[in-house]
Chain A
């Protein structure tokens, strides 16, 4: 239980980890998206750190139709800029592109814009993404006076694959109708893995035991969405008689589900992994995402799906129509809950989640 408590503390105050990196004189590179290859950052001898929306809600620099997540991330970057040596922004959705434009004017640190193919199955997608990863590698080498070679990339891949293995093994404990790991504990673990050094995280997890979660008899659910840092969105499900067994969140299985396959060409191996990983709402084709969702729901015996949609998050809102229809054809009920600031509107969210879970329990 000690590790769960520790991880929950980190998820409430990730900046404490950021400061710890700085105290240890690690050079920290901030990024926002699970589609950024941390392996290349680690291979450059740098510490990757996932920037969250924790502590902020809006920004005076963004218009009101930009999702609160992007605005909050922007404010956190500006507030914590001194603790970073550089930033990487991925062009997942248009708000992120605009955030990059604002950062170009506002920060004085090396800044990289990673273009990601929105159609992952196009004949040019692989070459395009590999070229972008190569540009990222060159950016890091140039700005941090370092060399990233195949050996350092291989080591970083092995390290990150090990983290993924550990996370996946814990995740799989809830399969076969088991109720072993509470999602609120589990997601705080995933978040910590994106904030801590991978070596430290792996050692901590290896020394801990998991699998004593309670929740037997609660309604098994899958959570769909983008990045969830406010774990009130998860605990409200647990408090309402639900048990989150699977997800497709950027702060959940999408981050670690797929490993990088061994290869003589690590950059190509990374490209394959990030191109074919668990599909993201900002990418196409949607069919892969729908298939993944159906497979997860079936293999974890989820009885319903809750989609959390950040206000103005177009990718998830467009997807939801197809997701709802697909799930309905599979006989799986779904619920869409929109939000801006979960802590402030938790009663409204609880009202909907409780009703959904109660309906499934009838």
Chain B
């Protein structure tokens, strides 16, 4: 068995794969402020599900922001892990849009899964999960509800700024004018989709386009991004664990390559 751990800015994910690279178990826990603790918690949860110990893992690969703090055999970048995970789950994918808690990424991969090019967001929370988390707090609606409300929108508002700070005050201003919450939420999803579309356009889109990362679980955002890029995306069953899954597959590869 092989373990992949992805310590993201918002959530830490662990995936265990068997010798054939099939997912044996998976776990998602909040990252909090201590990546070491969250990675141990995620690993334990995934290991408990298959009644194994860390010592039973033949190879462990860590990735994500906290990878240096994780007890692993080796470390790898999220770009490599996401690409590997997507290539296994959606072999037809040539473009990957990954939106996580703190980073958003667009990756172009070849037909044999090799990374051809990638681009990541600049130093700004706009276009990431953090943007939606802050807006969910401002709107006092749990993040899970944003998706449902999105599809009730009749007239999404146009956000004049995708800066998290300015957008927050804009949302407050719109709500005070009596604009319906669903129209504000749809406007926020469109704003984040616009931001990601602009970033990803730098490397271009080629079908199939896969969406991954925790934010892809928000159907409202996926709808807004789909409309923006005018392409139908392919989503894995659980988009949030793709990076950890890729890390586990990489662990399997590295173990097999070991002299």
Q: Which residues of A contact B (CB under 8 A)?
A: 311, 333, 338-340, 345, 347-348, 351-352, 354-356, 358-359, 362
Contact = CB atoms under 8 A, between A and B. Distances in A.
B61 to A, nearest CB: 12
A360 B88 CA distance: 21
A358 B76 contact: yes
A340 B77 CA distance: 23
A315 to B, nearest CB: 17
Contacts of A354: 77
Nearest to A349: B123
Nearest to A347: B65
Nearest to B119: A336
Contact of A340 (B78, B103, B115, B123): B123
Q: Which 3 A-B pairs have the closest CB atoms?
A: A355-B77, A355-B79, A359-B115
B118 interface: yes
Interface string B103-139: 1000000000011011010110000000000000000
B57 interface: no
B121 to A, nearest CB: 10
A358 B123 contact: no
A313 B123 CA distance: 14
A63 B253 CA distance: 51
Contacts of A347: 65
B123 A352 contact: no
Interface of A is mostly: helix
Given A345-B123, A351-B103, 15 more contacts: A338-B122, A339-B123, A347-B65, A348-B123, A351-B77, A355-B77, A355-B80, A355-B118, A355-B120, A358-B79, A358-B80, A359-B79, A359-B80, A359-B118, A362-B115
Nearest to B115: A359
A362 B118 CA distance: 14
B99 to A, nearest CB: 15
Interface of B: 65, 76-80, 103, 114-115, 117-118, 120, 122-123
A345 B115 CA distance: 25
21 contacts: A311-B123, A333-B117, A338-B122, A338-B123, A340-B123, A345-B123, A347-B65, A351-B65, A351-B77, A352-B120, A354-B77, A355-B77, A355-B79, A355-B120, A356-B118, A358-B76, A358-B79, A359-B80, A359-B115, A359-B118, A362-B115
Contacts of B79: 355, 358-359
A352 B122 CA distance: 10
Contacts of B122: 338
A339 B114 CA distance: 28
A340 B123 CA distance: 9
A339 B124 CA distance: 10
Contacts of A355: 77-80, 118, 120
A347 B103 CA distance: 12
A339 B122 CA distance: 8
Contacts of A351: 65, 77-78, 103, 120
B117 A358 contact: no
Contacts of A338: 122-123
Residue with the greatest number of chain B CB neighbours at <10 A, chosen from A340, A352, A356:
A352
A344 to B, nearest CB: 11
B75 to A, nearest CB: 8
Contacts of A311: 123
Residue with the greatest number of chain B CB neighbours at <10 A, chosen from A311, A355, A362:
A355
Contacts of A359: 77, 79-80, 115, 118
Nearest to B102: A348
Nearest to B80: A358
Contacts of B118: 355-356, 359
Contacts of A345: 123
A21 B76 CA distance: 47
A356 B115 CA distance: 10
